[in-house]
Structure formats: C-alpha cells, structure tokens
C-alpha cells in the first residue's frame, strides 16, 4: 500500500508533512508480532497522518484481533485516516482525553522542531532540556501505553540528548535503535518495552544509555534497519479492555456543524430534556406524613402560600445548602512530636423560611427561619 494518497502527496512539501517512508515501515513491522492468545489488541498512532502506518501495523498483527486508534491534527488527513482505522480523532493531541495504559502498541512519529512560547508566555513543556516538539509528544503519549507494551519511536537522532535518553532508559527495556531507510530527516527508529519506572541503573542500562547518547551526538551512526529482523520479535500484548476515554475536548465550528447534522439537532429528543418541566405533577399515592412534608419543604418542592387550619397564612420557601464541619485530631509520633490533622466534612443543612402574612398577627411581615 502506498503511504500517501496521490492528491495529498503532491502537496506534502508545502504542508510541511512527510509520513514514515514505506521501506522503513516494512522493516519496522517485521520486528512486531502479536502475543500468543485470543485477546484483542488496541494500538495507537497519536500523529497518524492519513493513518496508513497504523493501518499497516493492524494488518501485520492480525486485523481481526486489532482495534486501531489514531489522532490527526490536519482535517484532510484525518478524513482519510477514518477510512483505515477503527477510531480517529481530528484534533491536536494536547486537546484530547485518552485513557492511560490502554494500548499494547504506541507508534509515534511526532512532528519535528523546537517549541516556541505562546501569547501567554507558556511553552507547554515539562522538562529541563531543550524544548522540542518530539519531547512534548513523547511525554503526552507514553502514559497511554500499557506496561509491557511496545514503543516504536521515529525521530531525528540529534533529539537524543541526556534528558530524552534518561526518559527512555528509565521507562523501557530491550531498547534498540536503528537508522531509518529514508535519510532526509536523519531519523532513527527506537524500539522498547515499557516497564514501571526504575531508579537504579544496571550495567546494561548504562551501556544502552551511553550508546543512545553517542548516536544522539553523532559520534556513532546507528545501523540501518535490516530486511529481516535478526532478533525475537517484540510481542504486542493484548489489551484487557478498550480505552474508556478517547475523545476531543473542544470542537472546531466545522466539527460542531457535523455533530449537529449527525444528531439532527443538539437535542434530538428534546422532550426527554425539557418535557418533564411541562408536565402536570401527579398527586401522591397517599397522604404525606409530617416527615414527608418536612423533606419536601427542605428540598424546595413545596413553596408558595400555605394556610393552616387555624387560619395562619405563611409564604413558605425551602432550600438545602452545604456546609463544612471541622474536626481536629492530634496524634503523637514515635519521636515524641505531636501532629495535628484537620478533617473537613460536608454537611447538608435544610433551611425553611416562612413569611408571616396572617392578618392582625403580631408577627405579620416577619420571616421565620427553621433549620
């Protein structure tokens, strides 16, 4: 399958977009295999382009067992991607909500370049090294990969500084790095299996760290991906459940228009939302007890003018608000010092107010409050 639709291919340079080249992708896929078993896999490409790379990965792993997810910023490429994957968001990755640890494969070929500050002066990057787009997308994407899941990271070798290499060696094992077949962007392909963060470095980790730093600095050139994968393949694990959250936070005007058209209005079942307010309340099945009346008053369900059997006329309004009660606990530590713990507990307080409008009443015009 070609990696670019012809119409998009003619304009890729002007749009500043170039996908993973076909030769590199074929060799990358030869390094992947599905974990034995019948479980289904969820795989993600957060910078999917037209979705061809993640779709090819799904076919290589067994399409019937794979649910492919994609995120793409460009509207035209996102539209093409939707034809090839199961779920695609037209969105900036930073404007999405995606469940953590939900994917067995993360195929990440992020945009390349330095980060610049926005109008508010915020750069949006959590780190100490050189702020790069590759680092920003890495930080945002890796938490979505489940433990023992496989990372395929494609980016320029010179982005591998001490900070980035530190992230990789702390969060991944079985790290391998190769030069991409296409050399225009000086890309390397990094494979790894995610683990829980480790604090101490073994000799193997130090060796991997040293090699990555040498490749990043240009002191050593990574070997090119071979046509046949020379090691045991990286096993993509099954995903226990599909992602609970996979949606965009905000909508562009065009996207909102599409949703309105798809739903035939913002509220296709308007009676469900507004009809209840227009219905006449039905009488209760039996007479309300004093307990029921007190609850209804406190909830604000009963309000207005109330006349008692004795002729007293009240304008009644009930409400319930929340207050916090403070409780302080003291405990003695082993070293003899005393710690103080303050506990705030929510407490719902019903309040019923009645305005006395009884003629000739000594309290006429006064507001009576019952708590």
Q: Please write the tens of the pLDDT for every residue from 222-247.
A: 998 888 888 999 999 999 889 999 99
Output DSSP code: residue 80.
H
pLDDT bucket at 10, cuts 50 / 70 / 90: very low
How far apart, in whole angstroms, are the C-alpha atoms of residue 313 and residue 27? 86
DSSP string, 243-282: -S-EEESS--HHHHHHHHHHHTSS-TTHIIIIIHHHSPPP
Share of the chain above pLDDT 70, in %: 88
Domain limits, the chain: 6-258, 291-332+339-370
Q: Which CATH class is domain 6-258?
A: alpha beta
Position 101 scores a pLDDT of: 93
Q: Is the model's pTM score more than 0.75?
A: no
Question: Please, are residues 45 and 58 in contact by the beta-carbon 8 Å criterion?
Answer: no
Mean pLDDT (the chain) is 84
How far apart, in whole angstroms, are the C-alpha atoms of residue 110 and residue 141? 10
User: Between the CA of residue 338 and those of 185, 314, 317, 328, 343, what are the distances in Å?
Assistant: 61, 54, 48, 13, 16
**Residue 296 three-state SS:** helix
The per-residue pLDDT for range 109-127, each reduced to its tens digit, is 999 888 776 554 556 667 7
How far apart, in whole angstroms, are the C-alpha atoms of residue 264 and residue 266? 7
Question: Please, are residues 212 and 168 in contact by the beta-carbon 8 Å criterion?
Answer: yes
């Amino acid at each position: 399958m070609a990696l670019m639709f012809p119409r998009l291919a003619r304009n890729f340079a002007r749009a500043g977009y170039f996908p993973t080249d076909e030769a590199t992708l074929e060799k990358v896929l030869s390094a992947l295999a599905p974990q034995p078993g019948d479980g289904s896999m969820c795989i993600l490409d957060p910078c999917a382009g037209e979705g061809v790379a993640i779709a090819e990965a799904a076919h290589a792993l067994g399409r019937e067992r794979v649910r492919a997810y994609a995120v793409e910023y460009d509207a035209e490429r996102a539209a093409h991607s939707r034809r090839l994957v199961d779920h695609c968001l037209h969105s900036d990755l930073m404007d999405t909500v995606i469940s953590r640890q939900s994917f067995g494969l993360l195929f990440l070929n992020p945009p390349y370049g330095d980060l610049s500050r926005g109008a508010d002066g915020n750069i949006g990057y959590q780190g100490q090294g050189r702020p790069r787009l590759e680092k920003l997308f890495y930080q945002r994407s890796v938490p979505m990969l489940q433990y023992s899941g496989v990372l395929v990271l494609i980016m320029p070798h010179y982005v591998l500084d001490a900070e980035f290499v530190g992230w990789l060696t702390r969060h991944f094992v079985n790290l391998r790095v190769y030069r991409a077949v296409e050399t225009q962007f000086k890309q390397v392909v990094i494979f790894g299996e995610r683990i829980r963060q480790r604090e101490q470095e073994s000799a193997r980790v130090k060796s991997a760290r040293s090699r990555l730093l040498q490749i990043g600095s240009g002191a050593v050139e990574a070997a090119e991906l071979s046509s046949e994968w020379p090691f045991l393949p990286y096993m993509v694990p099954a995903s226990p459940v599909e992602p609970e959250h996979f949606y965009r936070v905000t909508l562009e005007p065009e996207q909102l228009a599409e949703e309105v058209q798809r739903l035939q209005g913002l509220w296709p079942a308007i009676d469900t939302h507004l009809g209840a307010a227009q219905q006449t309340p039905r009488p209760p099945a039996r007479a309300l007890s004093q307990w029921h009346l007190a609850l209804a008053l406190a909830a604000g369900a009963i309000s207005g003018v109330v006349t008692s059997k004795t002729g007293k006329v009240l304008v009644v309004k009930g409400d319930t608000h929340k207050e916090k009660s403070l409780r302080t606990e003291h405990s003695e530590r082993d070293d003899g010092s005393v710690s103080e713990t303050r506990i705030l507990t929510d407490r719902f307080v019903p309040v019923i107010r009645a305005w006395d409008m009884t003629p000739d009443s000594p309290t006429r015009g006064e507001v009576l409050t019952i708590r």
